[in-house]
Structure 1
Amino acid sequence: MTSPSLSAGEGFGPLSYARSRLYLGISGVGTAVVAAACLLFFDIPATGFSTSVEQSLGRSLFALGIFFAMAPALLFIFDLLGGAWFIRRKSDAPVWMFSWVRGVALQWGVWMLVAATLMATARTAGPLATVGIFAAVQLLLALARGRLAQIVAALPVVVPSPVLLQAAERAGIEARRLLVVDTTDEGFVGGWSSIAPRTLVIPRRWELLPVDVLAAQLVRRQVVATSGAHVRGVFAAIAWNTLGFVLVQQWLGATPATAAGLVSIMAGMTLWAFLGVLLLPTVSRAAVYAADSAAAATVGAAAVKASIERLDAWQDDEPTRPPTVERVFHPVPSRTNRIAALGEGRRTALGWRHAHNVARQALWLGWGTFSPISRAVHCNVGRPALWVMLPGD
């Protein structure tokens, strides 16, 4: 059972819905960053875990498995608040708890598989091969994005409605490329399910939109695909994470060949992910403006404006933000800024410099870096349906 949607700010005292989630995300991310810094500052990995490559792979992974289980425990209170309190549509507690456990268990499993693969490679083939395997893991995760999203959140596939099919035809997207899924989380926006933009995941809720508004959104997805901005976003995110993997090992003198080394790398990659949270949104915002402009050139600014207003109301529902807040925390510009850019008649082509959604692609691909920050940011904390396909534009 779900409750009706709350208006912005309802139930949160003086804070708006969006600002409540922002502060929750800051607290969750801050906790993860402080914990990672403490691990490194007090040299806990070398104290609590084996630094020897002579320790068997099984014993090393057993110790890591216990440690990896501590990250969800550390962040559980933030997940609970973000999934059961600071939301608009509330699920029954057992339903939410089951989905949370399911998502956490899958992430733990991914971490363990990656740890086993990296450790075995580092012990047998050396550092260069380990970097190659790390990049390959990022690629595999990106390829499996749509499938993983369905496993984490149990997103049932439904038959596209006539309205959706009509909008897809207007946007030039073949019906066979659509994957319509049902979810109660109104913040779910789907997206291209893999590296190559072949299958477009669409939430069933979008069928409530007028056909011209829905067509405008699908046109945006299409131009992001045909311009190469989607592929550039994925590969930019993979490159960012792989660069971090190399630099963290150099900075810490850590090796994934040992349990202690992997714990150090986990802490270092958490700090690297935090740096990405601060730097990558700038790149993402530029791509959003360019995608809006490209779609407006096809379907008109009015339809794009209406789609921005409708979908933002289902997500943050925050028309305006202080410039500093937007610059630091939001890879998607506020709807006021996006609509203002359309009104100014900006015509920015989606070119080689635009990497769409790179900030949030890098976050979810953090599943392959052991970083817990991907689930702690304000847009998806406590909401398993959004852990792989984070909210976007």
Structure 2
Amino acid sequence: MTYARARLGPGLTGAGLLLLLTIAAYVYQMPSTFFPYFGGPWYSDWAGFVVCFLAYASVSLPFDIWGGYTLPCSHQRLCLLFPEFLMKWLRGVFVQGAVMTSSALVLLQAGKHWGVWGATGALLALQITLLALQWPLARWTGGLAPAPALPGSGAVTVLAVDMGFTGGPAGLPGLERNIQPQSWNTSLSPPALLAEHLRRQGLIKTGARTRGVLLALGWNLLGFVLSASLPWGGVDTIFSLLETLLGCTLWSFLGLLILPSFSRPGTLEADRYAAANGATRPQLEAAICEIDQLQDEDLSRPRWLETMSSIPSVENRLNALDSKHQPYGAWLAARTTLYLSWANFGLLSRAVHLNVGRPELWVLPPGD
């Protein structure tokens, strides 16, 4: 079994367990049992959110160990000493916990004063803030260190331990930074590196990345409004807001099934841009295949797995280069919703197979 297929184990099991617990808590309205008070000082509300996050982190820990420590070691990938892995995990969890609990507190305060639409406006502002701080948060969460860049590359080069780290555009649309792992300077051939630089330009110039960001923002906002509008949801008490946030997690799961269909054409659009702006077919093939080998993905996938993937398989990407159809998509929309769901306490944000147990990928998920 390939490393990529093996990662489905902790991803599907961990995400499935969190989903079942979320459904149970949502249906039986457990937040009103554990947090029955209607109001209090902000610090008591914040303490309640911290308790919820610690419970979430405790449930996810075994799957993070499985996906971030056990599997890489058993497949001769990155194999850190367990104390080193644990310190990286604690660092990432601390940063995520600070963001998620603070965001929930902001939503609650906005809901108390201005109702559902005030909380929705606060959620929009929080997601925009997360986009603006994407690179600093990626650095703090994953312990990424800056490294010297190749002259003329225009990329921010970083030292990343996990070979699955690909970086990519980070930040608000129009103000993006291109983040690239330093290892690519030696692990990718010069033709592949050239083609990848053109692809990264294409993500911006075609608008594929902007469309992905806007779709992710809109999806999370829609889920929040729908969840808050249900009879047992709300935004003005901690228990009603937690019920709303549980509904947002269920909405995120629906997004993982629907949004990849919009994400995959965005990848193909960047491939076609590179081909039209100087990258030869052999250069693009080299970039696609060499990066895939670093990821240890599958050259082809079963149809059910392909429909759940944000990035097309190597086989489908190479076939698309010969197609006359011009793709038009929202690059990485599905995975971007997971990062932005930190703003609404998304319990699936780091439970899927691509980033479970891998803090370096929690903010900048693989996009190549």
Structure 1 residue 62 corresponds to structure 2 residue 62: no
Aligned partner of 1:227 in structure 2 is: 206
In the TM superposition, residue 374 of structure 1 has moved relative to its aligned partner by: 1.3
Is residue 79–residue 381 contact of structure 1 (8 Å, CA) maintained in 2? yes
Using a 3 Å threshold, how does the CA distance of structure 1 residues 50 and 58 change in structure 2: closer, same or farther?
A: farther
Q: Which runs of 5+ in 1 are unaligned?
A: 1-14, 169-174
2:70 to 85, 98, 112: 85
1:267, CA displacement in angstroms?
1.3
Q: CA deviation at 1:59?
A: 2.0
Could you tell me the TM-score, scaled by structure 1's length? Answer: 0.89
Equivalent pair of 2:301/2:313 in contact (CA under 8 Å)? yes
Amino acid at match of 1:137: L
Note if 1:194 corresponds to 2:171: yes
Match of 1:49 among 35, 40, 60: 35
Q: Which residue matches 1:356?
A: 331
Quote how far apart the aligned CAs of 1:252 are. Answer: 4.8
Cα separation, partners in 2 of 1:51 and 1:301, compared to 1, 3 Å? farther
Residue 308 of structure 1: aligned partner: 288
Tell me which amino acid in the other structure corresponds to 1:202.
Q
Any stretches of 5+ residues in structure 2 without a counterpart?
none
1:117 aligns with 2:97: no
What do residues 56-84 of structure 1 show as CA deviations (whole Å, max 9, x unaligned)? 33222222211221101001111001110
- Alignment-derived partner of residue 181 in structure 2: 203
Deviation at 1:347, TM superposition (A): 5.4
Secondary structure of the equivalent of 1:374?
coil
Q: CA 1:77–1:379 in 2, change beyond 3 Å: closer, same or farther?
A: same
Distance 1:345 1:115 in 2: 46
Q: 1:12: which partner in 2? A: none
For residue 240 of structure 1, the aligned residue among 219, 222, 234 is: 219
Task: Give secondary structure in 2 for the equivalent of 1:86.
Answer: helix
Residues 114-172 of structure 1, C-alpha deviations (whole Å, 9 max, x = no match) = 1221111111222221111111101110111111000111111011135xx3xx3xxxx
Matched with 1:340 is: 319
> How far has the Cα of 1:317 moved from its partner?
2.5
Q: In structure 1, which of residues 223, 229, 249 is the aligned counterpart of residue 228 of structure 2?
A: 249
**How far off is 1:50 after superposition?**
2.2
After superposition, where does 1:94-113 map in structure 2 within 5 Å? 94-113=83-102
Give the aligned partner of residue 10 of structure 2. Answer: 24
Tell me, in whole angstroms, the C-alpha distance in 1 between the residues paired with 2:292 and 2:365: 14
* CA offset digits 1:171-198 (Å, max 9, x no partner): xxxx3xx210001111111011202243
CA–CA distance in structure 1, aligned partners of residues 135 and 42 of structure 2? 31
| Higher alpha-carbon deviation: 370-379 or 251-260 | 251-260
Q: Structure 1 stretch 125-134 or stretch 239-248: which is displaced more?
A: 125-134
Which of 138, 143, 162 is 1:185 aligned to? 162
Report the Cα distance in structure 1 between the residues aligned to 2:167 and 2:21, rounded to whole angstroms: 32
Secondary structure of residue in 1 paired with 2:157: strand
Distance 2:106 2:15 in 1: 27
Alpha-carbon shift at residue 284 of structure 1 (Å): 0.5
How large is the RMSD of aligned CA atoms in angstroms?
1.5
Say whether residues 1:379 and 2:354 are aligned partners: yes
Identical columns (%)? 33
Which one is further off, 16-25 or 140-149? 16-25
Q: List per-residue Cα deviations over 1:273-328 (Å, max 9, x = no partner).
A: 1011111011001111222122112212221111000001111421111111111x
Q: Structure 2 CA distance, aligned partners of 1:198 and 1:378?
A: 26
SS at match of 1:200: strand
What is the CA-CA distance between 1:340 and the residue it aligns to? 1.8
Answer yes or no: is the 8 Å Cα contact 2:224–2:245 preserved in 1.
Answer: no
Which amino acid counterpart does residue 264 of structure 1 have in structure 2?
Answer: E
Shift of 1:110: 0.7
CA deviation after TM superposition for structure 1 residue 229, in Å: 1.5
Higher mean displacement: 257-266 or 129-138: 257-266
Code of the residue aligned with 1:70 in structure 2: it is A
Q: Secondary structure at the match of 2:179?
A: strand
Distance 2:208 2:106 in 1: 31
Aligned to 1:10: none
2: distance between equivalents of 1:265 and 1:363? 17
Q: How far off its partner does 1:272 sit? A: 0.8
Matched positions, count: 361
Corresponding residue number in structure 1 for 2:192: 213
Answer whether contact 2:116 2:228 (CA < 8 A) is retained: no
Q: Is the 8 A contact 2:32 2:239 kept in 1?
A: yes
- Aligned 8 A contact 2:107 2:119 in 1: yes
